[in-house]
Amino acid sequence: MTDNQEQLIQEAVEKALQGDMDAVNNIEDRVTRSKAKAALVKAKREAAKTSAEPSSEDKSEESATESKPAPLSLNQKIAGIIASQFPGTVDEESSSETHIQLQPAKWFDVAQYLRDDPACLFDSLQCVTGVDLGEESELEVRYNLHSMTHRHAVEIRIECARNNPKVPSVETVWHIGDWFERETYDMFGIEFEGHRDLRRILLPDDWEGWPLRKDYEVQETYHGIVVPKVKEGWE
Amino acid sequence: MVLNIGPQHPSTHGVLRLKVVTDGEIVSDITPIIGYLHRCFEKHCENSTYEQVIPYTDRCDYIASMNNNFGYVVAMEELMEIKVPERVEYIRVIMAELNRIASHLLALGTYGLDVGAFTPFLYMFRDRERILDIFELTCGARLLYNYMWVGGVSHDLPVGFVETVYNFLDYFEPKVQEYNDILTFNKIFIERTADVGVLLPEVAISFGVSGPNLRGSGVKWDIRKDEPYSIYERFDFDVPVGQGLVGTMGDCWDRFYVRVLEMIESTKILRQALKDIPANGDVHQALPKKIRPPKGSIYRRTESPRGDLGYYIISDGSPQPYRLKMRSPAFTALSVLNEISRGWMLSDVIAVLGSLDIVLGEIDR
């Protein structure tokens, strides 16, 4: 019986390692099934250990013999294009495979270039996200761009000072920039320079403070109405 | 003359206020004033755990809660690199497509109401009711489901679910022809909507308009096809686009008709999914006990009935999101209203607004 059980577990684990989880899940007996799952975890851990070591060696060997750079991600390619067109705008140290870090100064020109250049053609501004990097540090705006022609997407990040946050507006480059920037202004107080109609959009015009900043303190009353506090520390 | 429409007005589909500047009956400028339903969803998320965010996503687009859940869990699973069981994927697709039909039925029905057709509204609500019954059968709720969880779904399918949905499809498919007869190709309806509020493709893209509104302008863009998520690449379905059948491409009628065609495509997906769904399996299998995604950020979008629904999630490794931003499709759709309804009559503004199918819960968040 136990031999039978062990054999069953072993078979199921082997199948699961090849990607067929159903073999484990279809075991009728609950105890056997949980044993099989435990065995699977163990097997996976060992497999990861053995595969991780040689693979890192492989990599170093590969890079030593061929010295071929890893293929650039799209973000890195676009960062290269921006850097060659607008020297000094890309912050290469903090850029990564998944985003491009830009200096705010020439953002408007860069945005126009990104929209019109045939290699980029980012005709759609998907999302503008304001981020508070922490009470002691700066604010950041993140733009997700997408191209309907090339079907590719990049993420641009621009940092701005907490005390006097200013970023050039791209409202005239993409129409939706208008509302997205108003929303970011509303929530973070980031001023988009050159925006023609920078007002609050979701909150009332006479609301105080910037709600999505981490150091935001809600006002006590609004026109005589007590403002409820956000509950903290849910568990 | 400055005319105020809303915030409480049946044709604004919620609490939306429009400040309309008119010259006689011709509209020269519209300023939408939003935020009446603002709850600062994003601030709430920062103070809730990742699991607690899901009920909030329900309440954003309350017409298509399943799709909102879906978008969030897809983004979370990509951030955490979880793979969910096959059965869960199928259940999610079935729910999302059922909800898409329900959402489109509401959009089409109330649009008929906006332009003065009362009967189609009742027909469509009658059929939407059947979908809500299916949801009630599955998870107990009719509007706000909290059904899809990170790594699984909250309940397994009830006994007889597949047959129930088959029955619904058999009932529903012929009804689409009925809607077309009573409303879509009705002469009065065409008079009201054809050639009105034409949205050019490049304008639509610049304004970030997405989903059926963008496809109504002839742009073949559907995230289910072009950036497939979940298991959508397995299904065979078309992406209907507006062709200007009775007027100009991108007019209100095209946006309306794209939604009618999309319901048929959804039934196709549903039939394929019901055929292939694994008969049994654990729906909680990949569900972690406590959700703590690795540090990092992700932007993922999915196709909700209103268009590109994106979630930008930043995790700092704690059980609560550091920042969560929702890119709502209705927000971008409303921003184009001023652009395409200038120069039309006041009554056409209502027709244009209805054709954009906005949900204020999602705009204001």
Q: What is the 3-state secondary structure (H, E, C) of A103-170?
A: CCCCHHHHHHHHHHCCCCCCCEEEEEEEEECCCCCCEEEEEEEECCCCCCEEEEEEEECCCCCEEECC
Which residue is it, tokens 């993409």? A174
Number of A:B CB contacts under 8 A? 93
The secondary structure element, H or E, covering residue A84 is helix A74-85
Degrees to nearest 5, angle at CA A128 with B308 and A184: 125
CB of A151 within 8 Å of a chain B CB? The answer is yes
Q: Region A33-58: what's the mean pLDDT?
A: 56
Query: Which residue of B205, B336, B356 is the best one to mutate when testing the A interface, meaning the one whose CB has the most A CBs within 10 A?
Result: B205
- Using a CB-CB cut-off of 8 Å, the residues of chain B touching A129 are 299, 312, 323, 325
Q: Is B38 on the interface with A (CB under 8 A)?
A: yes
Separation of alpha carbons B154 and B187, rounded Å: 46
Sorted by sequence, the CB contacts under 8 Å of residue B58 that are 6+ apart come out as B65, B68, B69, B144, B145, B146
Give me the pLDDT at residue A216, please. 81
Rounded (5°) CA angle B189-B190-B195: 130
User: Residue B261 corresponds to which amino acid?
Assistant: L
Query: Could you give the CA distance from residue A13 to residue A40 in angstroms, rounded to a whole number?
Result: 5
pLDDT for A64 beyond 50: no
The DSSP bridge pattern shows strands A100-102 and A153-160 to be: parallel
B206/A25 touch (CB, cutoff 8 Å), yes or no: no
Q: Is the ipTM of this complex over 0.90?
A: no
pLDDT at A55 over 60: no
- Looking at the partner chain, which of A126, A130, A211 has a beta carbon nearest the beta carbon of B43? A211
Q: Which of B46-55, B205-214, B288-297 is the least confident region?
A: B288-297
How close B259 comes to chain A (CA, Å)? 22
pLDDT at B312 over 80: yes
Residue with tokens 């009728």: A28
* DSSP class of B145: -
Q: What are phi and psi of A170, to 5 degrees?
A: -115, 25
Q: Measured in Å, how far apart are chain B's first and last C-alpha atoms?
A: 31
Q: Is the pLDDT of residue A6 over 90?
A: no
Interface mutation vs chain A, best among B219, B323, B326, most A CBs within 10 Å = B323
Is A185 near chain B, with CB under 8 Å? Answer: no
Q: What's the pLDDT score for residue B97?
A: 92
B47/A175 Cβ within 8 A: no
Residue A135: pLDDT over 80 = no
The answer to whether A33 contacts chain B (CB < 8 Å) is: no
Specify burial of residue B285 (Cβ count, 10 A radius: 0-12, 13-18, 19+).
middle
Residue length of chain A: 235
- Please answer yes or no on whether B47 and A231 come within 8 Å at the CB atom: yes
**B312 interaction partners in chain A (CB closer than 8 Å):** 127, 129, 142, 144
Nearest to B48 among A22, A127, A234 (CB): A234
* Spatial CA neighbour of B54 closest among B152, B137, B161: B152
Tokens of A21: 């989880």
CB proximity A123 to B under 8 Å: yes
Q: Is A132 within 8 Å of chain B by CB?
A: yes
Mean pLDDT of chain A: 76
Q: What is the mean pLDDT of residues B306-332?
A: 89
Which pLDDT band holds residue B182 (cuts at 50, 70, 90)?
confident
Q: Any alpha helices (H) in chain B, and if so which ranges?
A: 41-46, 50-58, 65-80, 86-114, 119-139, 161-179, 187-193, 201-206, 212-216, 223-226, 252-276, 329-335, 337-341, 346-356, 360-364
Higher pLDDT, B279 or B254: B254
Q: Does B347 touch chain A (CB under 8 A)?
A: no
Contacts of B218 in chain A (CB under 8 A): none
Chain B interface test: which of A34, A126, A199, A217 (most B C-beta within 10 Å) = A126
The answer, yes or no, to whether residue B178 has pLDDT greater than 60, is yes
- The alpha-carbon gap from B44 to the nearest alpha carbon of chain A, in Å, equals 7
Q: Is A140 on the interface with B (CB under 8 A)?
A: no
Q: Are B71 and B57 in contact (CB under 8 A)?
A: yes
A175 and B281 in contact by Cβ < 8 A?
no
CB contact under 8 Å between B281 and A179, yes or no, is no
Bigger pLDDT: B224 or A83?
B224
Which percentage of chain B shows pLDDT scores above 70? 99
Phi, psi of A131 (to 5 degrees): -135, 135
For residues A102 and A86, what is the distance between their CA atoms, to the nearest angstrom? Answer: 11
Q: In sequence order, which residues have a C-beta less than 8 Å from that of residue A202 and are 6 or more positions away?
A: A183, A186, A187, B34, B35, B38, B364, B365
Q: Quick one: average pLDDT of A178-189?
A: 89
> Which of B35, B202, B278 minimises the CB distance to A203?
B35
Query: What is the rounded CA–CA span in Å between residue B66 and residue B142?
Result: 11
Handedness of CA B341, B345, B350, B351 (dihedral sign): negative
- Residue B180 Cα to chain centre, angstroms: 21
Q: Chain B contacts of A178, Cβ < 8 Å? A: 335
Does residue B247 surpass a pLDDT of 50? yes
pLDDT digits (tens, 9 = 90+) for B37-85: 888 888 888 888 888 888 888 888 888 899 999 999 999 888 888 888 8
How many CB atoms are closer than 10 A to CB A205?
A: 8
pLDDT over threshold 70, residue A68: no
Interface test with B, best of A128, A144, A201 (most B CBs within 10 A): A201
Report the SS3 class of residue B224.
helix
pLDDT of residue B17 exceeding 80, the answer is yes
Which amino acid type is present at position A8?
A: L
Least-confidence region, from A78-87, B76-85, B279-288: B279-288
Cross-chain residue pair B44–A125, CB shorter than 8 Å:
no
**Å between A46 CA and nearest CA of chain B:** 20
Name every residue whose Cβ is closer than 8 Å to that of residue A94 and which is 6 or more positions away in sequence: A101
In 3D space, the residue among B91, B227, B90, B70 whose CA is nearest the CA of residue B150 turns out to be: B70
B129: confidence class by pLDDT, cuts 50, 70, 90? very high
Query: CA B251, B256, B261, B267: dihedral to nearest 10 degrees?
Result: 150
pLDDT at residue A61, as a whole number = 43
Tell me how far apart the 2 most distant CA atoms of chain B are, in Å.
64
Gap from B309 CA to chain A (nearest CA, Å) = 10
Inspect the interface and report whether the beta carbons of A123 and B206 lie closer than 8 Å: yes
Give the mean pLDDT of B267-279: 89
CA torsion sign, B269 to B254 to B207 to B345?
Answer: negative
- Which token pair is A219? 């006002």
Query: Which residue type sits at B270?
Result: L
Question: Chain A closest CA to B48's CA: distance in Å?
Answer: 6
**Cβ of B299 and A155 within 8 Å?**
yes
Mean pLDDT computed over A148-171:
86
Average pLDDT over residues A9-32: 68
Q: How confident is the model at residue B105 (pLDDT cuts 50, 70, 90)?
A: very high
In chain A the first and final C-alpha atoms are separated, in Å, by: 45
Flag whether pLDDT at A45 surpasses 60.
no
Nearest to B324 by CA among B358, B291, B288: B291
In this prediction, residues B109-117 reach a mean pLDDT of 88
What number is the average pLDDT over the span B258-277?
A: 91
